[in-house]
């Protein structure tokens, strides 16, 4: 049995600081989006992913994978967004068991209305506090840790796709 490598003072400060900073920034962004856009952070993220998709839609299972969430959690958010007229769900013509989430024109309007305040909040809470060099270092650190953790963390399994489908 190997001996535990306890965190030294600097490592503990880095870890504790990361946790607190993440929670504070997450709440700050969520509050801004609720106040100015009428959306939760998760709902904004759903609309963002759909808007960034060249076709304006994604399979629900692919969207859940991108967002690192369960299909059930995503279904709840999609239902809320659908009730608000910001997305619609359609049968996937390429996969009879699949469902597409499609951003609506109203969803795009709400997303574009919320985006400037969202970006300002991200800048205010993180990006503009750092030098360009620190932002580049942070981006590199996040790339390294994201790749590593994607190999370690078990994510909700994707729905099995029908043979011959790509999404």
Please give the Cα distance from 131 to 109 (Å, whole number).
Answer: 33
pLDDT of residue 156: 63
pLDDT of residue 160: 54
What number of residues does the chain have? 167
Smallest Cα–Cα separation from 57: which of 104, 102, 94?
102
Q: With a cut of 70, which residues of the chain have pLDDT below it?
A: 1, 156-167
The strand ranges marked E within 5-86 are 57-59
pLDDT of residue 28: 96
- pTM, to two decimals: 0.84
pLDDT of residue 83: 97
Q: What CATH architecture applies to the domain 13-125?
A: Orthogonal Bundle (1.10)
Q: Which helix (H) or strand (E) holds 120?
A: helix 105-125
pLDDT of residue 158: 53
pLDDT of residue 72: 85
Which residues, 6 or more positions from 30, have their beta carbon under 8 angstroms from its beta carbon? 40, 41
Q: Evaluate whether 108 touches 53 at the Cβ level (below 8 Å).
A: no
Q: Which helix (H) or strand (E) holds 30?
A: helix 9-37
At residue 74, what are phi and psi to the nearest 5 degrees? -70, -40
pLDDT of residue 155: 72
């Amino acid at each position: 049995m190997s001996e535990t490598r306890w965190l030294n003072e600097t490592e503990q400060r880095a870890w504790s600081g990361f946790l607190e900073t993440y929670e504070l920034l997450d709440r700050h962004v969520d509050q801004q989006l609720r106040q100015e856009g009428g959306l939760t952070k998760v709902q904004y993220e759903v609309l963002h992913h759909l808007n960034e998709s060249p076709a304006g839609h994604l399979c629900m299972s692919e969207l859940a994978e991108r967002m690192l969430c369960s299909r059930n959690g995503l279904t709840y958010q999609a239902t809320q967004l659908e009730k608000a007229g910001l997305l619609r769900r359609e049968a996937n013509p390429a996969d009879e068991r699949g469902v597409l989430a499609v951003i609506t024109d109203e969803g795009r309007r709400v997303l574009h209305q919320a985006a400037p305040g969202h970006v300002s909040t991200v800048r205010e809470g993180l990006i503009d506090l750092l030098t360009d060099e620190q932002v580049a270092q942070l981006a590199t650190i996040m790339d390294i840790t994201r790749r590593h953790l994607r190999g370690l963390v078990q994510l909700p399994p994707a729905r099995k796709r029908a043979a011959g489908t790509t999404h």
